[in-house]
Structure 1
Amino acid sequence: MAELRRLRDGRASVLVIEGEAGIGKTRLVRGIVEEARALGIRAFVGQAHPFERTRPFGAMAAALDLNRRSGDPRRAAIGALLSGGGARADEGVPGDSQYRIVEEILDLVESSCAEGPVLLVVEDIHWADQPSLSAILSVVRQLTLEQLLVVVTCRPSPRSADVARLLDDLVIGGSRTLDLQPLTPDEVVVLARQVLGALPGPELRSALSKAGGNPLWVMAMLRSLADEDLLRDTGDGVEATSSELPASLGELVVRRLQHLPTETLELLQITAVLGDAVSLRDVAAVAHRPAADVVGQLGHAFDAQLLETADERVVFRHQLVHDAIYQRIPPSARRVLHREAAVALMAAGANRLDVADHVVRGAERGDHEAVTWLREAAGEASNQAPAVTAELMRRAEALLPVGHRDADVVASQVVQALLRAGQVAEASARAEAILARRHAPEVDIPLRLALMGALALQNRAAELITLAQTSLESIQLGSSGQVMMLAQQSWALTYSGDPGGGESAAARALAIAEESSDAAMTVWALTALLVAVGRRGRFGEALVHARRAAGLAAESHDTRSLPLQPKFFLGLALFDCDLVAEARNAFREALDDQFGSAWWLSETLMADAQASFAIGDWADAVPGLVAGGQAAQEKGNPLLVTQSLAYQTIIATARGDHLGARELAAPLVPLLVDGQLTYNAGVLAHAVAGLRVAEGDPRGAYEMLLHCWRFDVARECRFYHRCLAPDLVSLALALGHDDVAAEVAGVVTAGVALAPDVPTVRSVALRCQGLVDGDVEALVGAVELARQGPHLVEHTRACEDAAKLLAENGRRDESADLLHEAMHRYEETGADAWAGRVRARLRELGIHPAPRGNRHRPTSGWDSLTPTEQAVSRLVAAGLTNGAVARQLYISPHTVNTHLRHVFTKLGVSNRVALATVVHHSIE
């Protein structure tokens, strides 16, 4: 088939096979697997099963044989993680293990692809657990350059929201969908002739038409007619002697059950309750019979072709057969059997998560033992699969009788589970409902804290501020509770436009934390405080707080401070003080802590990409920004997505790619002209305004920058003044708005007193005031200050502004020197359009700069690769996976994948083997 040919050519692809039960999905998959193996392609095949949705990564574990008893150390290690082992004691952050397991699965699949083409099959994903669906999507998204074919099968229904999202994402990513349709009447005749060895007669054709073109039903009808001696040879073909056939496949299966012994039928029912593929040991345990007796009694079911064996499990010949037998059991009896199955399996040593679905299906309201089981199972799943935890806690809550003494405690645990699972809207709605009625005192504070977290994630700042203030005034909080409340309130105030209020709340939190000598809470308070004072332009003060928070966190083993990732915030504070090299070191230390954890990972990677942008290392910045934006999209963080687009827009504009810049900026424009601006509007406006100026719309750029400037000034926020003020002053003066220019210059000049040791703050102030006053010495001083920091844009734009005024004052040589200084930095970073602008100004001075010459890299071959691309190539050629490369280079697997795409294109190779050959020759 075409997908296998693509795979042999070293190209990744995805095939989705859809169709109703019995339509032939499994038969088609078997054909694909057999053909793949005949071609020497490694095939990993797994299947999701009913009653196993509470088993985290169950479908992927089956496909990849992830078992702690595996002879492969890597598979055994992942199996240990799946069973709750293998995690360090300090890895207590919710969601930690799930992220780590997905990364380990990615590494395993990628390593397998490095050895040769791989086929990964997961059947019946409509039954799959949510973590398995996440792992499938991660494999498809991140291993796009591997020799990998992913095949998934599913029914049109039932289809959960998680499955629907996965299928939509696969289609967006370019998957091919094969929708299997029912057989036509002529095809049914062909199938019947193959089975019977003769043409079916008119009566038989009429009977077979009841199958609706479902091949499984057709086969079952023919088998049933033959078993009941209802077929006769007419000489010209085969005819049915009766038209009285069941109206469904289920009825047909039930009809065949009538001929089985009672003991066999009872065991079949137990087997169906356990699932569509179960171990004989489990059947024996639930039936309370010796395994040998079970084997003997099920023999009749094997003879009737209802069961078969596969991988040491008893398997129904088809899920429709399983469903027919299962649905035949009265609901009350099914419930009892599921309950007994849970008890027996737990007694036999089964994992709580493996039997949780049976508990759910077998328990009735008021079953306290079942509630306890589900709560314990939810606890076991909390790190591996927060979504599973949330579902189990929902089920436990539903089993409690109305008014039970534990009802509020369980309800509170449901809220916590929903929040960890990312189901934020439901978490906040539930918390608000409980808090609005009478509730147990012990759940009040945990619910308020959970609600504050949910409100923060939904950007409902006003409600968060009110809740915090009400809580602080009306209930008795311990010191840690007060600090958490005040810290959340501080962030909400700061980001909603009241950094003064945010600073006050954070300072109060710090005083409480210090008085109680609580190191973890001191970290929370300091982090809130550094954000508030940083937004107000006191960058040096923010750095003092950040250093202290990072030091306290390093000395403390109290995990309450870990979700804040103090090293990440230290990196941000260092960056704001122009200490970019130190900031990147802090980001790398934060990444060392976070690989294997999802907390703050995308934010840290994005911050490091922005640092690459700032210093002009755009060859590394672009892949980092693209990958960071993708990771932010997956995490549901729209602010990071827009920041990624903003920096990419600036780079595209600087390179002269206006079409690309317009496409990147398109999602940003509505955020700047409609409704309430977001707190990162400054950088978005900087990017879009720069594009508008480049395209000849200075007035539109001016109005956009002024709108954002007024927004920030009204909120006492100076954070984005460095990117807003210089362009706004220049445009205001050019358009005759001298009063606006003077006002902006005055504000940034006053800001120097708040951060006197930060070179770019002083440089921007001198530039703006120098432009307003026409003071050439001030502009030259701005250049001197800008040289003290590594920031490309501030340095080069200061040079351009000073050069312009020097030329007007007859100081042609000094002007030319500064223009050359700016031009060289632009050319080194690839900002060709900006370099072209400087070249034009040099020509206006009568100076004709030499052609750029060989500063441009070749467009193909090893020498065309950037240093990072070469480093990635060497590590990949040495056999490292994307994850391992990411950890060595302190980037993300997404970024590695982006670099590899560029590498493959530049080198003209399509796989890692060919890349390794190129790397080997480059070393020689």
Structure 2
Amino acid sequence: MERLRALVGSVARTGSAALALIRGEAGIGKTVLLDDCAGHAGAAGFAVGLGKADELHHLVPLSSLMACLTHQDRPLLSDEAFADLSRGHDHRIWLVQHLAEQIEALAARTPVLIGLDDVQWADPLSRSVLAQLPARVRTSPVLWLLTRRPDASGEADEIFAAASRALPAVDVRLGPLSASAIAQLADDVLGTDVDEQVRDLLEGAGGNPFLAVELLTGLRSTNSPGEPVPTGLVAGVRGRLSALSPGTLRLLRIGAVLGRRFRFQDAVALSGQPSPAMVGMLDEAVRVNVLADKGDCLVFRHDLLRQAVYADIPPAHRRALHREAAQQLVTAGHQPIEAVSHLLTGALPGDEEAVLLLRRAADDVLPVTPALAADLLTRALELTPPQHPSGFDVGERAIVALTRAGRNKEALATGERLLARRPPPAVSSRLQAAIGATLWNLDRAEDLRRRLDATLAAGGASPETAARLRALRALALSRGNDLSAARADGEAALREAVAIGDREAHVQALFGLGETALNAGETAEALRLFTTLSAVDPAYLPEEVMACQHLDDFARGEHLLARATGQKEGSLREGMLLWSQGHQRLGLGQLDDAEADFVTVERLENEVEAPVHQVNARVVRSRIGLLRGDLAAARHDLVAARERLAVKPNPGNTAAVRFLEALHAGAADDHARALERLREVQRHDGLMRWRLLRTWVDEAVRIALRGGDRELAEDLAAQAEAHAARNPDVPTATGLAAQTRGLVANDVGLLGRSVTLLRGGPRPLNRAAALVDLGTALVNAGRRAEAVEVLTEARATFAESGAHAAAARAQSLLGRAGARARRASAGPRPSQGWEALTASERKVARLVAAGHTNRSAADLLVVSPHTVNTHLSAVFRKLSVNSRVQLTRVVAASEDG
């Protein structure tokens, strides 16, 4: 109690968050301790929200956390704050951000305590959110209190571990009472004359106060001291309730099936008795202190009481009651998901009504918790007889949900089992269309193409399914070499989709065509397609942004990003949006901001367990480290990229990592190894085939020339020229073509032309690299004065972007050109203190110190709140502060200084 009260004081005093996990077996006193701490915090001015997870409602998304935040006499948050729980692609990302903003705003007015009892029964979405929220609001005065049983699964430990990495976390373990304390309990209940038989019974309670009291109360209620004393809680509760009327016992059994908290009207409906007749039974149950009447619901006084009553119901009767409860809840207007727990207990194979309800519940929760939807549909599939026609429809839905949940191998295995039953052609084609997204996620493009060829050749698909299959085939072919076939299939699928009005096929066809155009280097056509696609589905706006970047139209890309930040969160794919924003910043030479975006992308993808960009994000971050001269960070990111490549080893990822390895080898002057890695990339379709590497082709040519492979250098230059021919109005494409040809030919004129072309584009790092190549050639040609001019510009451009290692190499070349030694420009920033902050981090620090929330700071900076959160995390780490109050003092001191 002292430790928890001290934590309350610490949160109030420092203005920063903390978390405590109270562990102990059922009945040991966790709830009492939680209530005491909440009462102490309330008296100290905290806004308090307490909730309890329910064993029989553990599937309802967010129900456990909602109990803490909204189910109070004075709720922390209003129901309106959760009115829209069916948002688009990245709902979980939106939800965590939305809750963080709501709690942050509340904590700006008063400290907050959020307590959840029995977290082991929390629903999956609440657990997922709780694993992220404490760290997300660590800069605000929020105390999180959780309780759990020791025999529970490890979700609470994961929440505790995640929090302890970011904020103070206290682990409170409650043990059993001493024998003397238990003896005092016996004296309180039975009087001082406690015989040895009773003492033997109490030893079985194991020091658990609740069990001891219930056993003693059961003993006292039997009024038969001479009879053998039952052992165990069930027997104790049975003895305690033996004097109740049969109707009251039935009410308690029905309540035990409905859950620890249930509505009286649901119990009445399930009993089949008229409501007036049940009132007396309710009064009796409350009078003996088993139930508590909370007005809007009835509650068992303790979980163990409910569990004891529940365990005393014969299993067959229990199953029947669960089945009836599910039907009654739906009839009474409850959401299907609220009845699912009963179905999972009471349904038997062949129960068509149960299958239908599971499907409805899965549809409801799919946008929120796809993993839960997948579990429900998998169970529905198990309940469906193998030869029943509806099994294929349920299975198709299960495949989609499993794929959305990232469980692609399970989705594929489910599809294979269904296809093994040899369904009719129309059904088989639908299953293959569902499996298509799974195979795409598994990077099995060639396998996907073969399946689609066979399915389309077999015929029998509906027009909608045929259009989807053809669109998927176009997408699969976009990864291969026959891009003309990919384009033909995509255009055919698009015509069919538009003709029949199938939106899914329409979106898939446009996406496949856009991917094909980008892979072919036809960037103008790619932009046209992705612009059309984002008009059909705004979630694909990031693809439009990326297409703008390939065309060097960064102004339009910036406009689209600003428009996206003003849209309703959740309507876009947040990870992909930040990926496109990161490349916008990288292209503009804003290395600090680009790195923050890529860090944020990885964090968001980890939170929703969807590792789409993990490999390439680390590749880019490692290259940024090399440009800065931070070799330790660059090597760390290289190792991380290799680890993530092992998980997602598609050709594009493999090419990116191999080229990164070439860059590292070149930085270490291991030219042979650098050349070996570059050749590996070139053997697989060529470096220019991979969009991420196209703006790095000049470095590839240098690696080839330093390694003595002029043939490879010629090949790379020819690829760059072919790409430029397809994009004659893109300065980066034409400039790189001239630059690479100038490097191969050692042609000062071509290198000068490349600089001129790149000046017309938006990419300062590419321009600076071309200036260095030109300056080197001028030095070698003895034109030192001209070399000094262009190398000075290159050094300044690199330094402005934070590419300090590249700037240092330009400075070294200036020395060779005979330039005067100059005072070294500012090198890499320190790792700690105000000077360690990037320009964006300083902006965020000043706004937060001025009282802005993450949301309002993001709105002012026209960036995502996720990006602000990443910047703020870096600010707190570099300044060694853990609250907004402390940050305000540091900012004030730095400004005064």
Tell whether the structures are fold-level matches, with TM greater than 0.5. Answer: yes
Are 1:576 and 2:559 an aligned pair? no
Match of 2:823 among 837, 851, 855: 851
Contact 1:828 1:855 in 2 (8 A): no
Q: Distance in 1 between matches of 2:606 and 2:91?
A: 21
The residue identity in structure 1 corresponding to 2:322 is H
Aligned position for 2:39: 34
Contact 1:672/1:704 (8 A) holds in 2 = no
Displacement after TM superposition at 1:302 (Å): 3.5
d(CA) in 2 for partners of 1:751, 1:158? 59
Which residue matches 1:646?
Answer: 619
Q: Which moved more, 1:184-193 or 1:339-348?
A: 184-193
Secondary structure of 1:14's partner? strand
* TM-score relative to the length of structure 1: 0.87
Distance 1:809 1:98 in 2: 60
The 1:895–1:476 alpha-carbon spacing in structure 2 relative to 1, beyond 3 Å, is same
Secondary structure at 2:83 match in 1: helix
**Does 2:577 match 1:604?**
yes
Aligned residues: 890
Distance in 1 between the 2:401 and 2:603 partners?
26
Task: Report how far residue 474 of structure 1 moved.
Answer: 1.1
Distance 2:704 2:380 in 1: 63
Q: Measure how far apart 1:3 and its partner are.
A: 3.6
Q: Which of 818, 825, 831 is residue 797 of structure 2 equivalent to? A: 825
Letter in 1 for 2:460: Q
- The answer on whether the counterparts of 2:15 and 2:885 sit within 8 Å (CA) in structure 1 is no
Q: 1:406 is matched with which residue?
A: 390
Match of 2:840 in 1: 868
Instruction: Give % identity.
Output: 31
Answer yes or no: is 1:595 the counterpart of 2:589: no
Matched, 1:623 2:604: no
Farther-moved stretch of structure 1 (499-508 vs 747-756): 499-508
Distance in 2 of aligned mates of 1:751 and 1:625: 27
CA deviation string 1:271-305 (max 9, x = no partner) = 11111122334333433556565443234433433
SS at match of 1:119: strand
1:902 to 874, 883, 888: 874
Q: Which residue of 2 aligns with 1:78?
A: 81
Structure 1 window deviating more from structure 2 (364-373 vs 703-712): it is 364-373
Residue of structure 2 equivalent to 1:127 = 121
- Is 1:58 the counterpart of 2:32? The answer is no
Contact 2:291 2:299 in 1 (8 A): yes
Tell me: CA distance 1:118–1:819, structure 2 relative to 1, closer, same or farther (3 Å): same
Cα distance change, pair 678–243 in 1 and its aligned pair in 2 (3 A): farther
Say whether the 8 Å CA contact 2:765–2:797 is kept in structure 1: no
Q: Deviations over 1:840-891 (max 9, x none)?
A: 2222333235435789999999898655345545664676543454466454
Contact 1:499 1:536 in 2 (8 A): yes
User: Within the alignment, does 1:838 sit opposite 2:822 as a pair?
Assistant: no
Q: Distance in 2 between matches of 1:807 and 1:173?
A: 52
Q: Which range moved further: 71-80 or 334-343?
A: 71-80
- Shift in CA distance, 603/79, structure 1 to aligned 2, threshold 3 Å: closer
- Are 1:752 and 1:762, in contact at CA under 8 Å, matched by a contact in 2? yes
| Pairwise CA distance, 1:116 | 2.6
| Greater Cα offset, 304-313 or 667-676 | 667-676
Q: CA deviation at 1:510?
A: 4.1
Summarize the Cα distance change of 1:663–1:386 in structure 2 as closer, same or farther, 3 Å threshold.
closer
Query: Within 1, Cα distance between the matches of 2:139 and 2:660?
Result: 32
State the distance in 2 between where 1:854 and 1:730 align: 27
Change (3 A) 1:696 1:115: farther
- Separation in structure 2 between the aligned mates of residue 293 and residue 195 of structure 1, nearest angstrom: 33
1:716-770 Cα deviation digits (max 9, x unpaired):
8253453453223223322333333233223323332222222222222222222
Following the alignment from structure 1 to structure 2, what is the Cα–Cα distance between the partners of residues 673 and 39?
52
Match of 1:219 in 2: 213
Q: What is the CA–CA distance in structure 2 between the aligned matches of 1:755 and 1:324, rounded to whole Å?
A: 75
- Could you say what secondary structure the match of 1:153 adopts? strand
1:270 has 2:270 as partner: no
Deviations 1:394-430 (A, max 9, x none): 4444444554343333333333333344433322222
Structure 2: 5+ residue runs without aligned partners?
none
Deviation of 1:615 after TM superposition, in Å, equals 1.3
Q: CA deviation at 1:322?
A: 0.7
Contact 2:406 2:609 in 1 (8 A): no
Contact 2:433 2:469 in 1 (8 A): yes
User: What residue number does 2:468 align with?
Assistant: 484
Could you say which residue in structure 1 is the equivalent of 2:101?
107
RMSD: 3.7
For 1:869 and 1:544, the matched residues in 2 are separated by 36
Instruction: Provide the C-alpha distance between the structure 1 equivalents of 2:834 and 2:277, rounded to a whole number of angstroms.
Output: 68
Q: How many Å separate the matches in 1 of 2:426 and 2:294?
A: 51
Aligned: 1:532 with 2:516 = yes
C-alpha displacement of 1:242: 7.5
Do the aligned residues in 2 keep the contact of 1:497 with 1:717 (CA within 8 Å)?
no
Secondary structure at the counterpart of residue 712 of structure 1: coil
Partners of 1:615 and 1:792 within 8 A in 2 = yes
Are 2:565 and 2:862, in contact at CA under 8 Å, matched by a contact in 1?
Answer: yes
Residue type of the partner of 1:868?
S
Residues 5 and 464 of structure 1, relative CA distance in 2, 3 Å threshold: farther
1:666 counterpart SS class: helix
Instruction: Write the distance in 1 (CA, Å) between the matches of 2:721 and 2:381.
Output: 59
Please give the per-residue CA displacement for 1:421-472, whole angstroms capped at 9, x wherever unaligned: 4433322222222122233565434322211111112222232111211122
Give the direction of change, closer, same or farther, for the CA distance of 1:577–1:97 in structure 2 (3 Å limit): closer
The DSSP-based 3-state class of the residue aligned with 2:739 is: helix
Matching residue within 672, 677, 689 for 1:699: 672
SS at match of 1:211: coil
Give the match's secondary structure for 1:15: strand
Amino acid of the residue matched to residue 684 of structure 1? Answer: V
Measured in 1, the distance between the counterparts of 2:301 and 2:566 equals 49
SS at match of 2:143: strand
The residue aligned with 1:558 is: none
Distance in 2 between residues matched to 1:52 and 1:509, nearest whole Å: 44
Q: 1:148 to 1:105 in 2, by over 3 A?
A: same
Out of 646, 651, 670, which is 1:678 matched to? 651
Deviates more, 1:110-119 or 1:872-881: 872-881
Give the superposition deviation at 1:802.
Answer: 1.0
Q: Is residue 342–residue 358 contact of structure 1 (8 Å, CA) maintained in 2?
A: yes
- Judged with a 3 Å threshold, the aligned counterparts in structure 2 of structure 1 residues 828 and 686 are, in CA distance, closer, same or farther, namely farther
Letter in 2 for 1:572: M
Deviates further, 452-461 or 853-862: 853-862
Map of 1:155-554 to 2, 5 A cutoff? 155-159=149-153, 169=162, 175-183=169-177, 185=179, 188=182, 204-227=198-221, 244-289=228-273, 293-310=277-294, 312-401=296-385, 403-439=387-423, 443-495=427-479, 499=483, 501-510=485-494, 512-513=496-497, 521-547=505-531, 549-550=532-533, 554=535
Could you report, residue by residue, the CA deviation over 1:352-411 in whole angstroms, capped at 9, with x for unpaired residues? 333333344344444444444443343333444434433443444444455434333333
What corresponds to 1:148 in structure 2? 142
In 2, Cα distance between the equivalents of 1:675 and 1:294? 60
Q: Do the aligned partners of 1:285 and 1:345 also contact (CA within 8 Å) in 2?
A: no
Unaligned runs of 5+ in 1: 231-240, 555-560
Q: Secondary structure at the match of 1:667?
A: helix
1:814 aligns with 2:818: no
The equivalent residue for 1:7 is: 11
Q: 1:769: which partner in 2?
A: 741
Distance 1:587 1:342 in 2: 47
Cα distance in 1 for residues equivalent to 2:498 and 2:254: 61
Letter aligned with residue 434 of structure 2: A
